[in-house]
Amino acid sequence: MLEQTYLEKDELQKLVDIAFAGCSKGRVPEARTVFAKILEAVPGYIPAKVGLAFTHVVVDDFPPADEMLTDLLGEDPDNDDARGFLVLSKFLQKDGDAVDALMGEFRDHDSAGYRLASSLNDVTR
């Protein structure tokens, strides 16, 4: 549940989307700032936590990304978005055993995280 904040859920999601777009355009420091500011306003906002981890994946800074995503999965084992980005991280690290193990843990095969992970898995075949 979201804590009380001056931002509405749809506004938070728009900020998350902007930060993810920033990552795709190479604006990683700015994206990190946006995710961090969201987490200052709403410390438990999972999409911002996932996004902050992603800012490490996109610059091949895998240890903090893996730690953040693993922690998120420890808190919420059903979070297929975190699992999908962890698969991406392990894929980029060429850790096929971890990718295979994580692929078996998805809860929802219609989730965006699963679609991301399975598209990577298709690339390796």
Angstrom distance (rounded) from CA 118 to CA 29? 28
Residues 6+ apart with CB under 8 A from 86: 66, 69, 70, 73, 102
**Does the residue 108 lie in any domain?**
no
1: confidence class by pLDDT, cuts 50, 70, 90 = very low
**Does the residue 44 lie in any domain?**
yes
Tell me the per-residue pLDDT of 14-55, one tens digit each, with 9 for 90 and over.
999 999 999 999 999 999 999 999 999 898 899 999 999 999
The answer to whether 48 touches 16, Cβ cutoff 8 Å, is yes
**Does the residue 104 lie in any domain?**
no
Report the predicted TM-score, pTM, of the whole model to 2 decimal places. Answer: 0.87
Strand, helix or coil at 78?
A: coil
Q: Looking at the 3D structure of the chain, how many domains does it have?
A: 1
Question: What is the pLDDT at residue 125?
Answer: 46
**Does the residue 65 lie in any domain?**
no
Range of the domain at 33: 1-59
Provide the mean pLDDT of the chain: 89
Can you give the CATH number for the domain in which 44 is found?
Answer: 1.25.40
5: confidence class by pLDDT, cuts 50, 70, 90 = low
Phi, psi torsion values for 59, nearest 5 degrees? -115, 20
**Does the residue 32 lie in any domain?**
yes
Cα dihedral across residues 37, 39, 45, 50: positive or negative:
positive
**Does the residue 87 lie in any domain?**
no
**Does the residue 12 lie in any domain?**
yes
72: confidence class by pLDDT, cuts 50, 70, 90 = very high
